[in-house]
Structure 1
Amino acid sequence: MATSNPNLDKSPSALLRNNVRQLKEKTEKLKTDAKEAVRRMPIVLTEQQLKRLKEHKYASEGITLFDPFMQEFWKWLVEFCPLWAAPNLITIVGLALNIGTSVLLMIETNGAKEQCSRWIYFLTALGLFLYQSLDAIDGKQARRTNSQSPLGELFDHGCDSVSAVFVTIACCCACQLGVYPWLMFLACMCSFFAFYAAHWQTYVSGKLKFGKLDCTEAQFSFIGIYMISTVSAAFWSKSIPYLQIEFRILVALLMIGSTAWSSFNNLRLVSQGGCGRNFSSVAGTSIIFPAWPIGILCFLATVASNYSTSHVLEEHTSLHLLCYGLVFSKITNRLIVAHMSRSPLNAWDSSYVGPLAVCINQYFNLLISEHVFLWFFLLYSLYDLLRYNIKVCQELCDFLDIHCFRIKPPTTPTTDQHH
C-alpha cells in the first residue's frame, strides 16, 4: 500500500506557518551566532572599567537657547513611543535615517561640488530633524520605561560622534563647498575638533557643560541650510552685496568661527584644572594628554591632504574627509568611555593605522592609487569603529545583564519627565 507524502496533505496556511517557523528559527540561530562571534572578539574593557561604568552618573550643566522651547515638543513626542521600544533602538533608528540621507547627498553632489535634486536636500533636512528629535527623547523614554542605564548615555554620545561627521560633511555638500576644498577641509576639521574638545572638557571636569549656542542650535542651522538648498541650490554660489564673497564662503567662515569659539571656551575650562587629585582629570591623569589623539589625527590629515600628488582632497573631497571623520569618531568614543569609566587613555589606537598607511603610501610614491587606497581606508576605519562600538556595548550589556535594543522586564509608564 502506497504512503502519501505528508507535504502534499498540508493546507496552504499550514505550509505558510511552517515556513514562518523555519524563518524564525534561522533568524534566532543567526542572532546567536552573531552574539557568539562578538563575544569571541578581543576584550576591550577591563573589569575595573566595567565596574566604574556601572557606577557612573550623568552630570551636565547649562541650558541652550532652544532647549526650553524644544522640551515641550519632545515631551509631547515621547508619548507616541510604544513602551516596548528600547531607548537605544529609538536612537539608532534616528541615526540610520540621518546617515542614509547624508550619504545620499554626498553621492549626488559629486564630492560637494555639484547641485542635486531638491528632494534630496529636503530628505537630508528631514533625516537630521528626525535624528535630533529621536535623540532628544531617548532619555525620556528610558525614564518612562524604567530602563535607565550607563549604556544609554554611552550609546547616545557615541551616536552623536558619528552623526557629527556625516552632518558636517553633508552641510558642506548642501552649499557646494567642495569647490573650495581646503576651506571645506578646515571647516570640517574645526567642527570635529570642537566636538572632541567638549568631551575633553568633560573628561577633565567630570561634567558636560552646554553653552547658549550648542548642538541643538547647530543642528537647526544645518537644517536651515538644507531647506535653502531645497528652494534654490544655486543660492550659495551668489555673492553677498558689497562684500563680494559667495554665500557658501560665509557659511564656511561661520562654521569655522563658531567651532573655534566653542573649542576656545572648552580649552579654557580645561586649562583651569580638573576635578581629580592635584587638578588632574577624572582618571587622575594629565589634563593635557587627550590632545595627543586629536592632534595626531589633524596632523596626519593635513600632511596627507597637502602632499597628495594626485590631489585627492581636491578630487574626492567628501570621501577623503569621511575617512578621517570615522577615525575622529573612534577616538572621541574612546575619550567618552575613558570619562565614564574614569580610566586613562592609551597612547596607541588601531584607528591610527589608516592615516599612517596613507602617509606611508605617499612616501613610497603611491604604490597603490590614492583613490583606491581611500576606499580601503574607509572600509578599514568603518570596520574598526563598528568593532570597537559593538564590543563595548556587548561587554557592558553582559556586565549589567541588559539588552542593548530590547527592554528586558515588562515596563509601565512613569510621569517623570526630568531633562
Structure 2
Amino acid sequence: MILRNSCYLPNKNSEAAKSMSGHRNIKRRCGESHLESPAGCGHGPAAGCVLSKLVQLPTPPLSKHQLKRLEEHKYQSAGRSLLEPLMQGYWEWLVGRVPSWIAPNLITIIGLLINIFTTLLLVYYCPTATEQAPPWAYIACACGLFIYQSLDAIDGKQARRTNSSTPLGELFDHGCDSLSTVFVVLGTCIAVQLGTNPDWMFFCCFAGTFMFYCAHWQTYVSGTLRFGIFDVTESMLCTIAIQLLTGTLGPWFWNYTVKRTLMLPGKQWHGLSRDSTFVMHIVTGI
C-alpha cells in the first residue's frame, strides 16, 4: 500500500504542476494582450493617447520640396518707409549694446512675450473693450509695443552680426510677427473702447490680419518683401501714440463730441458729430 501510494503521488504532483503552469501561461498571455492594446490598460496609456492627439500639429510637416525651398530662400527687401531712415540710427545703436552671445531668436521671443503680457493687462481690465483701465496699463502697453518694435527691428541685425542668419530664423521671426499682429490690433481696439461697436472691432481685427497676410503672400509670389511710404514702423508708432494718448487723456478722448459748423450761402448750420473710431472729427468750415 505504501508503494502504491508512493507511485500515485508523482502523478498527483504532476497534475497540480500542470494546472499551475497553465494558470501562469494564461496570466502571461493576458498581460501581453494588455500591453498590445493600450486602450485596455487602465487610464495611463489612454491618457497618453489623448495627449498625443492634443499635441499633434494641425498641419502636416514640410515636404522635402518645401524644405529645399526654405533652405534656398534668401531675404530680399525693396523700398523704404517714411520714418525708417530716422529709426535706423537708433536700431544700430541698440544692436551694438546687445551681447554677441544672445541668439537672434531669443531677441524675437522676448519682444513677443513682452507685447503679449502688456496687452493681456488691458484685456484683464477691459474684457469687453468697453471698460476703462488704469492709466498705467495703457502706458505699459505703449512701452511694451515700443520694446517689441525695437527688438523686432534688431533681431535680423543681430543675426547678420553674429553670422547666424538662416531662412528658418526669418520664418520664426515672421511667425512671431503674425501672432503679435493679433495682440497689437486687440490692444488698440481696447484703448479706443471699440467694444461699443463690435462690427467695427471685428473689421479692424480682420483688416490687420488680412494686410499682414497680403504682404507675405506678395513676398511669396515675388520673392521680395516690399515696403511702402507708410508701413510697419509708422503704424506701430501710431499705435504707441494712441496708447499714450489714452493713458494721459483717458479713453473718453476717442468718443469726444466735436462741434462742427457748416457754412452755406446765407445760412449757418451747427451740428454735433460723434466719432467712435480712431480719430476725432476735425472742426471744418466751408
TM-score by length of 1: 0.49
Which residue of the other structure, out of 158, 176, 188, is the alignment partner of 2:205?
Answer: 188
Classify the secondary structure of the residue corresponding to 1:249: coil
Q: Which residue of 2 aligns with 1:127?
A: 144
Q: CA deviation at 1:245?
A: 3.7
1:237 and 2:255 equivalent? Answer: yes
Q: Which residue of 1 aligns with 2:30?
A: none
1:214 and 2:242 equivalent? Answer: no
Classify the secondary structure of the residue corresponding to 1:113: coil
Classify the secondary structure of the residue corresponding to 1:45: coil
1:93 and 2:110 equivalent? Answer: yes
Classify the secondary structure of the residue corresponding to 1:110: coil
Code of the residue aligned with 2:68 in structure 1: it is: K
1:61 and 2:115 equivalent? Answer: no
Do the aligned residues in 1 keep the contact of 2:107 with 2:155 (CA within 8 Å)? yes
Which residue of the other structure, out of 52, 56, 59, is the alignment partner of 2:69?
Answer: 52
Do the aligned residues in 2 keep the contact of 1:184 with 1:252 (CA within 8 Å)? no
Cα distance in 1, alignment partners of residues 280 and 222 from structure 2? 31
Do the aligned residues in 2 keep the contact of 1:91 with 1:135 (CA within 8 Å)? yes
Q: CA deviation at 1:250?
A: 4.1
User: For the structure 1 residues 152 and 159, does the alpha-carbon distance in structure 2 shift closer, same or farther, using more than 3 Å as the test?
Assistant: same
Q: Provide Cα deviations, 1:235-274, integer angstroms capped at 9, x if missing partner.
A: 1221233174445424499xxxxxxxxxxxxxxxxxxxxx
Cα distance in 1, alignment partners of residues 143 and 183 from structure 2? 14
User: For the structure 1 residues 220 and 246, does the alpha-carbon distance in structure 2 shift closer, same or farther, using more than 3 Å as the test?
Assistant: farther
Q: Provide Cα deviations, 1:196-228, integer angstroms capped at 9, x if missing partner.
A: 111122222221111100111010010000000
Q: Which residue of 1 aligns with 2:42?
A: none
User: For the structure 1 residues 54 and 190, does the alpha-carbon distance in structure 2 shift closer, same or farther, using more than 3 Å as the test?
Assistant: same
Q: CA deviation at 1:67?
A: 0.4
Which residue of the other structure, out of 178, 190, 193, is the alignment partner of 2:195?
Answer: 178
Do the aligned residues in 1 keep the contact of 2:192 with 2:278 (CA within 8 Å)? no
Code of the residue aligned with 1:82 in structure 2: it is: P
Cα distance in 1, alignment partners of residues 56 and 280 from structure 2? 41
Cα distance in 1, alignment partners of residues 122 and 112 from structure 2? 15
Cα distance in 2, alignment partners of residues 224 and 44 from structure 1? 41
Code of the residue aligned with 2:188 in structure 1: it is: C
Cα distance in 2, alignment partners of residues 252 and 212 from structure 1? 24
Cα distance in 1, alignment partners of residues 218 and 272 from structure 2? 39
Do the aligned residues in 1 keep the contact of 2:254 with 2:280 (CA within 8 Å)? no
The structure that is strand-richer by fraction is: 2
Correspondences of 1:332-371 after superposition (within 5 Å):
none
Q: Provide Cα deviations, 1:255-312, integer angstroms capped at 9, x if missing partner.
A: xxxxxxxxxxxxxxxxxxxxxxxxxxxxxxxxxxxxxxxxxxxxxxxxxxxxxxxxxx
Classify the secondary structure of the residue corresponding to 1:76: helix
From the CA coordinates, give the structure whose radius of gyration is larger.
2
1:224 and 2:241 equivalent? Answer: yes
Q: Which residue of 2 aligns with 1:203?
A: 220
1:249 and 2:277 equivalent? Answer: yes
Code of the residue aligned with 2:258 in structure 1: it is: I
Q: CA deviation at 1:129?
A: 0.3
Q: How many residues align?
A: 215
Q: CA deviation at 1:116?
A: 0.9
Identity across aligned pairs (percent)? 51
User: For the structure 1 residues 241 and 156, does the alpha-carbon distance in structure 2 shift closer, same or farther, using more than 3 Å as the test?
Assistant: farther
TM-score by length of 2: 0.71
Cα distance in 2, alignment partners of residues 252 and 167 from structure 1? 21
Classify the secondary structure of the residue corresponding to 1:241: strand
Q: Provide Cα deviations, 1:112-150, integer angstroms capped at 9, x if missing partner.
A: 101110000001000000000000000111111111111
Correspondences of 1:81-120 after superposition (within 5 Å):
81-120=98-137
Do the aligned residues in 2 keep the contact of 1:187 with 1:252 (CA within 8 Å)? no
Code of the residue aligned with 2:277 in structure 1: it is: I
Q: Provide Cα deviations, 1:142-163, integer angstroms capped at 9, x if missing partner.
A: 1111111111211111111111
User: For the structure 1 residues 143 and 252, does the alpha-carbon distance in structure 2 shift closer, same or farther, using more than 3 Å as the test?
Assistant: farther
Unaligned runs of 5+ in 1: 1-36, 254-419
User: For the structure 1 residues 232 and 247, does the alpha-carbon distance in structure 2 shift closer, same or farther, using more than 3 Å as the test?
Assistant: farther
Q: Which residue of 2 aligns with 1:382?
A: none
Classify the secondary structure of the residue corresponding to 1:240: strand
Code of the residue aligned with 1:239 in structure 2: it is: T
User: For the structure 1 residues 252 and 207, does the alpha-carbon distance in structure 2 shift closer, same or farther, using more than 3 Å as the test?
Assistant: farther
Classify the secondary structure of the residue corresponding to 2:131: coil
User: For the structure 1 residues 250 and 225, does the alpha-carbon distance in structure 2 shift closer, same or farther, using more than 3 Å as the test?
Assistant: closer
Q: CA deviation at 1:60?
A: 1.2
Cα distance in 1, alignment partners of residues 272 and 171 from structure 2? 45
Do the aligned residues in 2 keep the contact of 1:183 with 1:252 (CA within 8 Å)? no
Do the aligned residues in 1 keep the contact of 2:112 with 2:180 (CA within 8 Å)? yes
Cα distance in 2, alignment partners of residues 145 and 138 from structure 1? 11
